[in-house]
């Protein structure tokens, strides 16, 4: 763990101990559940409302997160669309498995398919329909009007920076990549001002960035900064949010980041970042109030349109009202962990099954059970890449079994194809878990 993060965590615990009142959910606020004509995987917002993408090249829109209109859907053997963004009211793009990219130039009224190679695209950013960056498990690729060009990481980047959690394209010439040692670890920015002809690397001193995103024509990053780092015994961590036009010269925000002390502002979309499981902070300036949402259903897949807040959880869309709130004494609950991408250079394994999202929690806390347990899992991967759990043997009780099943059923694979046709594939695997008894 980074020494900067150690100091920050200590500060979090101290503030949590001193604080006295937990943020309350908005009075009378409830969650509503809906689902497009496909299994949703990601959600975003535009001037027209919400957009969701998912299985079988599914793209759908909704003005309020309740009633969905299908904009595109493949009958079978489509790609999994893993992400979608609208950098302005006209341009939108979605990306996913098989090198699939869908682009709209008219605000979502029509979508055109593109295939940028064959590898799964885990992250993408476009400044216009012909210029941007995509991130696969193997490479970072510059998208140009003339074609695709893999980005060669310069020797100035430390060899340990093998992760690329974010790519950002602000214009045809200005683009940047976040490179890091891992989640909430040392991170720097590889940027270009000439469309990728030359790249330069910059690591902010005494700052651990959590996330890189674009807002209002600038790069923005949020994270933790260590002050008095040369003080005997070490320094102390404070929340940090900065902006830059070139990836090298950074300016601290004027916004009040006090609420970021508890959990660290993260899971940012546009200018809003989560300060906890119930608080949304505006990190780019000080004129915007905090927003409060009721507890529950928070995932890294979220969007805000006006005062409506929606997330994707367990194959459904959940929406609620976000209300303005004054500063609270204590944030409400921890955020979910971010989704980690595979390190650069990860080669696709041979065979029909290639995992896209397969997180698995190996540690559990229980009131009565403790010890190590071996699990045997039988899965059926459907032709659309989603999972049906056929059997699960080995969990010590029903509660832990239910938690494991819930996680397994959210696994996603590249849609399996054999001899040019979609197929269903059965597979078995073994996993081990550690259960710790609570006091």
Among 209, 213, 170, residue whose Cα is nearest residue 193: 170
The reported pLDDT for the residue numbered 15 is 31
* Percentage of the residues of the chain whose pLDDT score is greater than 70: 93
Residue 107 CB neighbours (<10 A):
16
The reported pLDDT for the residue numbered 102 is 98
Q: What is the mean pLDDT of residues 221-249?
A: 90
5 pLDDT more than 70: no
Helices then strands, each counted (H, E), the chain: 2, 37
The reported pLDDT for the residue numbered 28 is 57
Give the pLDDT band (50/70/90) at residue 10. Answer: very low
The reported pLDDT for the residue numbered 25 is 43
The reported pLDDT for the residue numbered 13 is 30
Taken in order of first residue, the domains within the chain and their CATH numbers are 3-325 (2.130.10.150), 355-437 (3.30.2420)
The reported pLDDT for the residue numbered 18 is 28
Q: What is the mean pLDDT of residues 41-54?
A: 96
Q: What is the mean pLDDT of residues 89-110?
A: 97
64 pLDDT more than 80: yes
Between 2-16, 101-115, 306-320, the lowest mean confidence (pLDDT) is in 2-16
Q: What is the mean pLDDT of residues 205-214?
A: 95
150 pLDDT more than 90: yes
Q: What is the mean pLDDT of residues 144-170?
A: 96
The reported pLDDT for the residue numbered 232 is 77
Q: What is the mean pLDDT of residues 9-26?
A: 33
Rounded to two decimals, what is the model's pTM? Answer: 0.88
SS3 131: strand
Q: How far apart are the first and last CA of the chain?
A: 27
72 pLDDT more than 90: yes
Between 23-32, 149-158, 289-298, the lowest mean confidence (pLDDT) is in 23-32
Give the pLDDT band (50/70/90) at residue 17. Answer: very low
Among 324, 329, 396, 414, residue whose Cα is nearest residue 137: 414
Give the pLDDT band (50/70/90) at residue 184. Answer: confident
* Percentage of the residues of the chain whose pLDDT score is greater than 90: 71
Give the pLDDT band (50/70/90) at residue 19. Answer: very low
- Mean pLDDT computed over every residue of the chain: 89
Ramachandran assignment for 300, one of left (phi > 0), alpha (psi -120 to 50 degrees), beta (any other): alpha
Among 7, 9, 24, 26, residue whose Cα is nearest residue 262: 9
Between 41-50, 214-223, 268-277, the lowest mean confidence (pLDDT) is in 268-277
193 pLDDT more than 70: yes
Q: Which two tokens stand for residue 342?
A: 């595979």
pLDDT in tens, 372-381: 999 999 999 9
Cβ neighbourhood burial of 71 (10 Å; 0-12, 13-18, 19+): buried
95 pLDDT more than 80: yes
234 pLDDT more than 80: no
4 pLDDT more than 50: no
pLDDT in tens, 379-421: 999 999 999 988 999 999 999 999 999 889 889 999 998 888 8
């Amino acid at each position: 763990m980074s020494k900067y993060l150690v100091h920050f965590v200590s500060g979090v615990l101290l503030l949590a101990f001193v604080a006295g009142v937990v943020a309350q959910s908005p009075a009378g606020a409830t969650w509503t559940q809906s689902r497009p004509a496909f299994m949703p995987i990601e959600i975003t917002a535009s001037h027209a409302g919400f957009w969701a993408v998912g299985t079988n090249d599914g793209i759908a829109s909704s003005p309020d997160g309740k009633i969905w209109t299908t904009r595109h859907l493949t009958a079978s053997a489509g790609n999994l669309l893993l992400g979608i963004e609208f950098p302005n009211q006209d341009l939108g793009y979605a990306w996913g498995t098989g090198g699939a990219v869908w682009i709209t130039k008219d605000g979502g009224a029509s979508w055109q398919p593109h295939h940028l190679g064959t590898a799964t695209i885990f992250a993408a950013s476009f400044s216009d329909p012909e210029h941007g960056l995509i991130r696969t498990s193997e490479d970072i690729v510059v998208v140009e009007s003339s074609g695709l060009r893999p980005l060669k990481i310069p020797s100035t980047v430390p060899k340990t920076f093998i992760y690329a959690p974010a790519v950002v394209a602000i214009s045809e010439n200005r683009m940047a990549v976040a490179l890091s040692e891992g989640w909430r670890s040392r991170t720097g920015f590889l940027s270009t001002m000439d469309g990728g002809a030359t790249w330069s690397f910059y690591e902010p001193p005494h700052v651990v960035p959590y996330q890189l995103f674009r807002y209002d024509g600038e790069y923005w990053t949020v994270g933790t900064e260590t002050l008095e780092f040369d003080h005997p015994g070490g320094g102390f961590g404070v929340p940090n949010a900065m902006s830059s036009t070139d990836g090298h010269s950074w300016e601290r925000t004027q916004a009040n980041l006090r609420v970021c002390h508890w959990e660290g502002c993260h899971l940012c979309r546009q200018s809003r970042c989560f300060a906890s499981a119930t608080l949304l902070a505006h990190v780019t300036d000080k004129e915007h109030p905090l927003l409060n949402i009721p507890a529950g259903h928070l995932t890294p897949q979220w969007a805000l349109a006006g005062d409506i807040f929606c997330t994707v959880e367990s194959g459904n869309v959940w929406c609620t009202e976000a209300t303005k709130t004054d500063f609270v004494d204590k944030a409400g609950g921890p955020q979910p962990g971010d989704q980690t991408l595979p390190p650069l250079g990860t080669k696709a394994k041979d065979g029909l099954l290639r995992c896209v999202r397969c997180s698995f929690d190996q540690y559990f806390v229980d009131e009565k059970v403790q010890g190590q347990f071996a699990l045997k899992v039988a899965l059926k991967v459907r032709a659309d890449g989603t999972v049906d759990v056929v059997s699960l043997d080995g969990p010590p009780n029903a509660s832990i079994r239910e938690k494991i099943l819930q996680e397994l059923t959210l696994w996603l694979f590249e849609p399996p194809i054999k001899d040019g046709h979609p197929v269903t594939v059965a597979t078995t695997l073994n996993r081990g878990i550690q259960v710790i008894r609570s006091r």
